[in-house]
């Protein structure tokens, strides 16, 4: 009897051991043999503003270094441009020539016109004097009945015309004494205005020797060194707008079901102690045929296109730098 009980107890323990081992194997298999989460790898990006030279010249001084934080309007670099200074000297010389020409037109034309107008006035006065005497004589003869009324009227008309001519000549003399002819003065004045505009334009160009920050940000890269020559439009430095960052993923289209436009996703940043952060997808775009995963005829599969997906973190992460790896685990 005791032997039978001992045998039954042994069988029970054996069965329990088998069940426990089976459960342990099932748990281990579930933990270690399940399909792992698919990881989609992305990269942090930020808006980069390229600052280029507006004038050809030599880099005189760099006011910033790589990594410096700057504010909008801060002076970044001084580029000395001999070409701009030469153009300024040329423009100033043209302004002086135009001003001198303006004075010459005013003075020269005035003296010549005054002289000619005075001669016309003298001639008109002489003509008026002669016709006045003729008219007076005709008037007396008419009163004496020697000449007809028509002759008297003809003399009167000649006298009136001579008086009108004298008045016109005196008016021209008055205009001549007031200055040069209007057209000449306007033309000379326009030349002076154009020359002054040229000077102002070159002076504005000289202000471009000093390049300033177009926005707040951080100096990313500086290309030339002090003393180097740079050409017009050559890149001088790049500026990162660190408050305008996002994450870019390149995603095969069969994985887009969990990365739709407007979705909120959780990302992981390995460089920041595997920090987790919420991000919202705001941009999805086909990358074109060059980024297509081609299927083979043997598999009978379809060509899968690649999409560029961009997301912004809902909270600012100051330590997130462009180029850092960002992971999204597809569940």
3-state secondary structure of 236: strand
pLDDT at 88 over 60: no
Q: Which pLDDT tens digit goes with each residue over 48-57?
A: 999 988 778 8
Mean pLDDT calculated for residue range 207-222: 88
Residue 263: predicted pLDDT? 92
The pLDDT value recorded for residue 264 is 93
Q: What is the mean pLDDT of residues 234-251?
A: 91
Predicted confidence at residue 269, as pLDDT, reads: 93
Cβ-proximal residues to 185 (8 Å cutoff; 6+ apart), any chain: 102, 105, 106, 179
Residue 18 has pLDDT above 70, yes or no: yes
Q: For domain 37-78+217-330, which architecture applies?
A: Beta Barrel (2.40)
Q: At a CB cut-off of 8 Å and minimum separation 6, what does 199 contact?
A: 88, 91, 92, 95
Please state, in angstroms and as integers, the Cα–Cα distance from residue 162 to each residue in 38, 106, 120, 248, 252, following that order: 111, 31, 12, 95, 102
pLDDT tens sequence across 110-141: 666 677 777 777 877 887 788 888 888 888 88
Contact predicate 23/191, CB 8 Å: no
pLDDT tens digits, residue range 244-283?
A: 899 999 988 888 888 899 999 999 999 999 999 999 999 9
Q: What is the mean pLDDT of residues 54-77?
A: 89
Burial of 55 from C-beta contacts in 10 A (0-12 / 13-18 / 19+): buried
Query: What is the percentage of the chain residues whose pLDDT exceeds 70?
Result: 65
How high is the pLDDT of residue 195?
57
**Structure-model confidence comparison of residues 77 and 93, the more confident one:** 77
Q: Which residue has the higher pLDDT, 220 or 79?
A: 220
User: What is the pLDDT at residue 86?
Assistant: 55
Compute the distance between CA of residue 281 and CA of residue 150 in angstroms, rounded to an integer: 107
When pLDDT is averaged across residues 153-163 and rounded to a whole number, the result is 76
Secondary element (H or E) of residue 104 = helix 82-143
Q: How far separated are the first and last CA of the chain, in Å rounded?
A: 59
Distance in angstroms (rounded) separating the CA atoms of residues 241 and 219: 9
Which is more confidently placed, 25 or 102?
25
The answer to pTM > 0.75 is no
Q: Provide Rg for the chain, Cα atoms.
A: 49
Which segment of 20-24, 49-53, 172-176, 199-203 scores lowest on mean pLDDT?
Answer: 199-203
Q: What confidence score (pLDDT) does residue 296 get?
A: 47
Q: Could you tell me if 263 and 251 are in contact, meaning their C-beta atoms sit under 8 angstroms apart?
A: no
Q: How far apart are CA 263 and CA 281, in angstroms?
A: 6
More confident site: 34 or 266: 266
3-state helix, strand, coil in the chain (%, to 5): 50, 30, 25
Return mean pLDDT, the chain: 77
Q: Is 5's pLDDT higher than 70?
A: no
pLDDT score recorded for residue 134: 81
């Amino acid at each position: 009897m005791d032997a039978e009980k001992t045998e039954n107890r042994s069988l029970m323990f054996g069965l329990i051991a088998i069940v426990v081992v089976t459960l342990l194997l099932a748990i281990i298999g579930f933990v270690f043999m399940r399909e792992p989460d698919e990881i989609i790898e992305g990269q942090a990006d930020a808006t980069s503003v390229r600052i280029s030279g507006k004038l050809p010249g030599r880099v005189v001084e760099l006011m910033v270094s790589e990594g410096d934080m700057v504010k909008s309007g801060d002076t970044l670099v001084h580029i000395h441009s001999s070409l701009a200074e030469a153009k300024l000297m040329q423009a100033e010389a043209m302004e002086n020539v135009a001003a001198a020409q303006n004075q010459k037109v005013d003075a020269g034309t005035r003296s010549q016109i005054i002289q000619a107008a005075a001669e016309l006035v003298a001639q008109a006065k002489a003509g008026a004097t002669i016709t006045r005497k003729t008219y007076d004589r005709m008037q007396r003869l008419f009163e004496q009945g020697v000449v007809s009324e028509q002759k008297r009227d003809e003399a009167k008309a000649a006298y009136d015309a001579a008086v009108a001519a004298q008045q016109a000549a005196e008016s021209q003399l008055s205009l001549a004494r007031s200055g040069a002819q209007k057209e000449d003065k306007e033309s000379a004045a326009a030349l002076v205005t154009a020359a002054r505009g040229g000077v102002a334009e070159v002076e504005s160009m000289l202000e471009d020797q000093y390049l300033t920050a177009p926005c707040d940000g951080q100096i990313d890269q500086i290309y030339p060194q002090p003393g180097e020559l740079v050409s017009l439009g050559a890149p001088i430095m790049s500026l990162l707008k660190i408050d305008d960052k996002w994450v870019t993923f390149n995603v095969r289209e069969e994985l887009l079901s969990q990365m739709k436009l407007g979705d909120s996703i959780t990302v992981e940043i390995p460089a920041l102690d595997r920090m987790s952060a919420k991000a919202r997808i705001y941009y999805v775009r086909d990358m074109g045929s060059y980024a297509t995963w081609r299927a083979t005829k043997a598999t009978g599969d379809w060509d899968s296109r690649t999409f560029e997906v961009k997301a912004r973190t809902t909270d600012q992460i100051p330590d997130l730098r462009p180029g850092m790896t960002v992971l999204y685990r597809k569940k």
